[in-house]
């Protein structure tokens, strides 16, 4: 069983030295578990937090343990009889070829209704995150300006499209001309600003001439610094993540908080797993939009489990273009 283990905890940048590619025994299912062949592994920014021992909302991966991650898998054998061999399921575990997982945590997928990888991206955890953060926290009203960072990515691309449906004027922020063109031309955002441009703050100000009413924060760092002065009175920020800071040893200095008082801002963080009912809601709503073709998504599929460490390092540096998925060969 080819597996990728956490070899050491990174301080600062993640490197290949923090991972170990290893061959292990085929896992044998305990009572209540099925043996799965993982086919697609989702790589997500939260995994950087699991590599660190720092206190967080979830426990870290132990040194020497298989890296955590969610997979779309095929059932090899299910002694409980709930699934047939060959069934596609969501819920396989880890950066590894095979996993033994409790059947109670598996959800059957129908490959006839669409690509199974959508269960890891647009219709899975990232899509649900976009749904919760946009509708419940950022809550844009018609005509308001809604800004989302990492706009071409798994969460941001969906958040912006939901905000457009809510009647907001949506401005994306993304890294580089190619991603910005995709956000405008394929996703249909009215505007997208390149945070790599030297005059990014001025460009963002020009794109948000009436200020920013709602901001969906995915990135932090210099992007956040440019957004905050543009927030309007009673503006809302949904703090979803700050991927630009995940490799930092110490937290970056934040914005001056007097503007929270002066502008009467609402700042709220959230973790999607605290909203368990939202997953099925979004699968039903978003699934309909995906099937009719009105919700666009892009996947960045890298072939081969051995490529996962490098692909993950790229995710923390903006090298992925769309939802990052490993095809486990």
* Contact residues for ligand NDP, defined by CB under 6 A: 44-46, 126, 129, 150, 152-156, 174-175, 179, 195, 218-219, 221, 223, 240-244, 270-272, 315-318, 320, 323
Which of 144/300 has CB closer to ligand NDP?
Answer: 300
Residue closest to ligand NDP, measured at CB: 153
Q: What's the DSSP call for residue 66?
A: B
Minimum Å gap between C-beta 314 and ligand NDP is 8
Mention every residue, 6+ apart, whose C-beta is less than 8 A from residue 26: 1, 35, 98
Torsion angle of C-alpha atoms 199, 177, 140, 137, degrees rounded to 10: -90
Which of 219/302 has CB closer to ligand NDP?
Answer: 219
Beta strands in 150-246 (DSSP E): 169-174, 191-194, 212-217, 231-239
Sign of CA dihedral 280, 284, 285, 290: positive
Pairing type for strands 70-77 and 33-42 reads antiparallel
Task: Answer whether 71's CB lies under 8 Å from 38's CB.
Answer: yes
3-state secondary structure of 59: coil
Cα distances (Å, whole numbers) of residue 247 to 81, 84, 187: 44, 42, 29
∠ at Cα 170 (207, 263), nearest 5°? Answer: 75
**Which two structure tokens, joined as six digits, stand for 69?**
């991650």
Minimum Å gap between C-beta 132 and ligand NDP is 8
Minimum Å gap between C-beta 243 and ligand NDP is 4
Which of 41/103 has CB closer to ligand NDP?
Answer: 41
Minimum Å gap between C-beta 320 and ligand NDP is 5
Which of 74/161 has CB closer to ligand NDP?
Answer: 161
Which of 136/233 has CB closer to ligand NDP?
Answer: 136
Task: Answer whether 40's CB lies under 8 Å from 327's CB.
Answer: yes
Minimum Å gap between C-beta 198 and ligand NDP is 15
Which of 96/128 has CB closer to ligand NDP?
Answer: 128
Minimum Å gap between C-beta 143 and ligand NDP is 26
Which of 10/126 has CB closer to ligand NDP?
Answer: 126
Minimum Å gap between C-beta 114 and ligand NDP is 19
Pairing type for strands 70-77 and 266-269 reads unpaired
């Amino acid at each position: 069983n080819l597996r990728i283990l956490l070899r050491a905890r990174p301080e600062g940048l993640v490197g290949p030295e923090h991972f170990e590619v290893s061959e292990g025994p085929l896992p044998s299912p305990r009572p209540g578990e099925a043996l799965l062949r993982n086919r697609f592994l989702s790589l997500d920014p939260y995994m950087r937090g699991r590599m660190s021992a720092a206190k967080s909302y979830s426990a870290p991966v132990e040194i020497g343990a298989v890296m955590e991650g969610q997979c779309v898998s095929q059932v090899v054998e299910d002694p409980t009889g709930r699934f047939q061999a060959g069934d596609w399921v969501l819920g396989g575990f880890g950066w590894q070829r095979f996993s033994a997982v409790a059947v109670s945590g598996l959800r059957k997928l129908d490959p006839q209704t669409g690509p199974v990888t959508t269960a890891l991206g647009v219709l899975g955890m990232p899509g649900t995150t976009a749904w919760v953060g946009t509708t419940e926290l950022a809550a844009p009203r018609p005509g308001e300006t809604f800004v989302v960072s990492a706009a071409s990515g798994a969460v941001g691309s969906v958040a912006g499209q939901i905000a457009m449906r809510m009647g907001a004027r949506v401005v994306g922020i993304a890294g580089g001309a190619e991603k910005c063109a995709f956000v405008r031309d394929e996703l249909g955002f009215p505007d997208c600003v390149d945070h790599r441009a030297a005059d990014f703050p001025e460009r963002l100000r020009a794109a948000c001439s009436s200020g920013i009413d709602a901001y969906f924060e995915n990135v932090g760092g210099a992007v956040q610094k440019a957004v905050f002065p543009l927030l309007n009175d009673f503006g809302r920020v949904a703090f979803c993540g700050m991927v630009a800071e995940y490799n930092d040893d110490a937290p970056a200095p934040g914005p001056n908080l007097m503007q929270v008082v002066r502008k009467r801002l609402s700042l709220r963080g959230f973790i999607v797993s605290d909203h368990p009912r939202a997953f099925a809601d979004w699968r039903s709503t978003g699934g309909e939009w995906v099937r009719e073709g009105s919700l666009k998504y892009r996947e960045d599929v890298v072939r081969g489990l051995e490529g996962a460490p490098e692909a993950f390092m790229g995710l923390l540096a903006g090298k992925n273009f769309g939802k990052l998925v490993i095809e486990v060969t």
